[in-house]
Amino acid sequence: MTRLLLGLGIVSAFSLSTWLQPRFAAMQTNPNATDSALGILMGESSRVFANHFLLKADAYFHSGTYPSVFDTVTNKEPSAIMGEAHADHDHDADQVHGKDEHDDHHEESIYGEPHDWIERLGHSFIPTLHTHLDKPGEAREILPWLKLSAELDPQKITTYVAASYWLRHDPKHADEAEPFLRQGLRANPDSYEILLELGKYYNETKKDPVRARNVWELAWAKWQKQKAADKKPDELTGAEILGELVKEARSRDDAHSQIQYLELLKDLGFDKAALQQQIDALKQRSK
């Protein structure tokens, strides 16, 4: 018995080390490797944990409803917090990727009908109702996990954007969004996503559209730089940056800039006809 266990232990240790070795090697040559103390301490696994904590934050947002990989009935992808963040926010922004099918499904089990009595009984002891942390201030509960996630994997951009969204929507914490985003920017200097979020912070929270515009223009420049370098930046985010710039220009009644950004937006390939209409209308007016 003992000998069998020992053998098993040796085999698993061996396979684990062969699995880990190339990863360690990769990490040592990677100049962008994590730079936080905790991250270094935990090595490659820190990224796994960072992702786990991000999921945790998502589960917290839904008050503990936490579909596992085995639950097929999931109506949202892992980074649903981001979804939420954009969904609420984008309704008024007439943006391209508003998650409009996202809903008011509160108070509904996310796990679907149980298959057997064991599952039915089990569902009595875990939070299955889909609710949100929407009472004032309640969203703060997700922040520790986001902070931990950033600590473990500073390269994970979602973390900063999600945290900033919640921070700036909580009057007590609004001012903390900026330092956190700047921290993210230091770790990811080329991130147009963080710049987009920073712009929103200046625009909506600080009511400083001029500063917001500068940041968004920088974001767009970064986006284009990545495009040129063939790094396949996210087109939806690119469109969102341009959308913000269009709105900002509209608020200044700057038809010229609006047209310029709308043309860029059209180049991205979204709903060309409608955009052309808007451009034509603007050109008409400015004549």
Partner 1 sequence: MNNIFAIASVVLKEMYRRKDFYVLFVLTALITLVMGSVNIFNDDKVVRYLKEICLLLIWVSSLVIAITTAARQIPAERESRTIFPLLAKPISRNQMILGKFVGCWIACALVLVVFYLFFGVISGAREHFWPVVPYMQALFFHWIFLGIVIALVLWGSLVFTAVSSNATICFIIVAGIMLLGGHLNQIAGRMNGISATITSAIYYIIPHLEFYDLRDWIIHDRGVVAWGPWLIASVYGLVYSAIFLGLACIAFRRKALTL
The footprint of partner 1 (CB under 8 A) covers 1-2, 5, 59-60, 63-64, 66, 68, 70-72, 115-116, 118-119, 121-122, 124-127, 137, 140-141, 143-145, 147, 167, 172-173, 176, 180
Cα–Cα dist 146/168, whole Å: 14
Q: What angle do CA 53, 56, 57 make, to 5 degrees?
A: 95
Sequence-ordered list of residues with C-beta below 8 angstroms from that of 88, at least 6 positions apart, any chain: none
Q: Closest distance between partner 1 and the C-beta of residue 170, in Å?
A: 9
Q: Closest distance between partner 1 and the C-beta of residue 144, in Å?
A: 4
Per-residue tokens: 170: 């909580």
Q: Closest distance between partner 1 and the C-beta of residue 166, in Å?
A: 9
Cα–Cα dist 201/185, whole Å: 14
Rank residues 143 and 219 by Cβ distance to partner 1 and give the closer one: 143
Rank residues 61 and 192 by Cβ distance to partner 1 and give the closer one: 61
Rank residues 192 and 201 by Cβ distance to partner 1 and give the closer one: 201
What angle, rounded to 10 degrees, do the helices at 192-200 and 157-168 form? 0
Q: Closest distance between partner 1 and the C-beta of residue 276, in Å?
A: 45
Rank residues 108 and 267 by Cβ distance to partner 1 and give the closer one: 108
Rank residues 177 and 241 by Cβ distance to partner 1 and give the closer one: 177
Q: Closest distance between partner 1 and the C-beta of residue 248, in Å?
A: 28
Q: Sign (positive/negative) of CA torsion 176, 39, 65, 103?
A: positive
Q: Taking the mean position of all CA atoms in its chain, how far away is CA 161?
A: 5
Nearest one of 167, 145, 150, 172 to 62, comparing CA atoms = 145
